[in-house]
Amino acid sequence: MNKDKYVFAQLVGFLDNFKFLRIVREYDGDKYVKSYTCWNQLLTMMFGQLSNRESLRDLIVALEAHAGKVYHLGIGKSVTRSNLSKANEQRDYRIFEEFAFFMIAEARRRRIQKIFELDGHIYAFDSTTIDLCLSVFEWAKFRKHKGGIKMHTLYDVEAQVPAFVHITEAKVHDSKAMPEIPYEKGAHYIFDRGYNDFGNLYTINRIEAFFVVRAKTNVRFKPVTWKRRLPENVVSDATGYFTVYKSAKDYPEKLRKVVCIDPEDGTRYIFLTNNLTASAETIAELYRNRWSVELFFKWIKQHLRIKKFWGTSENAVRIQIYCAIITYCLVAIVQHDMKLDRSIYEVLQILGISLTNKTNLQDLFDKSNFKNVNVLYDSSEPNLFNSRRLFVNLFRRSVSNRMMFKYLSCISTGIVPSSIAST
């Protein structure tokens, strides 16, 4: 039934238009708007994300190249550089923020699966700094000659999608975002060393949730009980209390300290947790899966447009980030609902070069041969079985393959610069 619809228009069918319009009405997003609505703006931004457009001008040129198709794509005929720029500058970013949270909830609801034999959800919390040019983004002052913003993300390890996103100035310390996390009773939260804030960790303990955090090497801990029979690569497993006054004041109750050795490189890891019953191997495995949020940051920066922004105001930057998250969740939902035996990365690449084709989505994925992509990239999708070594290798390989991504994105618009074509 979708044989006469463009691929992008079929994708739009997975979005809840009524939910989005309710949010728009709540914030008067379309008040006094005659043609270029918030819905048109969202679809324009998503088209730019999926087709890997480098700039606002690049996006408009791509749409102009398909002027006869734009209306049928759902974007509307009124999209111009000035209309899009004005919309990103003036329309309330909270419209896209709320819809992003809705898409996050929908993706998690569909994709949730139990990997650990633990009650509650498994979350990894971390942040990434997005550098901005201070002379252009004056509101985002980070250091004397540097600007930036920070995206704090609570990542659902089992569903492989973000559960919560909080955007702050880049100068905000990671631990300052911990009170913003919507904690759940019985859930496990995984943190790196930057989150050794024992007051916030004690908050997690009080609500009967669990945490696993990599401790700093200078942590002062007095063991009370020890486990004698330890598995391989586990140096010690003890429960006790903090001995430093401030630490003991912030966290007055008993907790557990687990020391492990990475068998690959011999690195010594010290973990603190309030889970007193799980095995030491489970604690180490939980922390190992913290790398899934790092891979998510790499994935979304590399494959969706948030490294180069299409507007200079804080409002425009926030809109673009939330549109990137909406696009990521949409691809994750499509992968799940269509029961595709492909990674999110493969789905994105196939869609990116087929947006203006009139091909049924199922036929598109059935006929596309992207097995070579998996081999080439070892699957850069945030994956539970990705390791730190894979993350480093993917980063190195992405540099040598940047030209290929550029070429694939150009094909989707029918515009191939001579500099690329000559190569």
DSSP 354-414: TTT----HHHHHHH---HHHHHHHS--S--TT--HHHHHHHHHHHHHTHHHHHHHHHHHHT
Least confident segment among 139-153, 167-181, 363-377, 402-416: 402-416
Least confident segment among 77-81, 150-154, 200-204, 274-278: 77-81
pLDDT at 275: 93
pLDDT at 122: 93
210, 189 contact by CB (below 8 A): yes
Least confident segment among 234-238, 255-259, 355-359, 418-422: 418-422
- The domain locations on the chain are 7-94+313-421, 113-293
**Position 369 confidence tier, pLDDT thresholds 50, 70, 90:** low
Count CB atoms within 10 A of the CB of residue 94: 16
Q: Which helix (H) or strand (E) holds 257?
A: strand 255-261
Instruction: Give SS3 for 122.
Output: strand
Share of the chain above pLDDT 90, in %: 33
- pLDDT of 192 strictly over 80: yes
pTM for the model: 0.74
- pLDDT of 42 strictly over 90: yes
Instruction: Between 375 and 259, name the one with better pLDDT.
Output: 259
Segment 93-105, tens digit of pLDDT = 999 999 999 999 9
Residue 90 to residue 86: CA distance in whole angstroms: 6
Any bridge partners for residue 127, and if so which?
152
- pLDDT of 47 strictly over 80: yes
- pLDDT of 405 strictly over 60: no
Rounded to an integer, the average pLDDT of 226-245 is 88
Segment 258-312, tens digit of pLDDT = 999 888 888 889 999 999 988 899 999 999 888 888 888 887 777 555 555 666 6
pLDDT at 343: 79
Rounded to an integer, the average pLDDT of 212-233 is 88
- pLDDT of 397 strictly over 50: no
Share of the chain above pLDDT 70, in %: 80
**Position 56 confidence tier, pLDDT thresholds 50, 70, 90:** confident
* Domain 113-293 sits in CATH 3.40.50.300: no
- pLDDT of 422 strictly over 60: no
Q: Percentage helix, strand, coil, to 5, in the chain?
A: 45, 15, 35
Q: DSSP secondary structure string, 14-65?
A: TS-HHHHHHHHHHTTTTTT-SSS-HHHHHHHHHHHHHTT--SHHHHHHHHHH
Q: Whole-number mean pLDDT of the chain?
A: 80
Residues 6+ apart with CB under 8 A from 230: 236, 237, 280
CA dihedral (366, 370, 372, 373) positive or negative: negative
- pLDDT of 230 strictly over 80: yes
> Which of 271, 266, 211 has the alpha carbon at shortest distance from 238?
271
pLDDT at 407: 43
Rounded to an integer, the average pLDDT of 155-177 is 88
**Position 133 confidence tier, pLDDT thresholds 50, 70, 90:** low
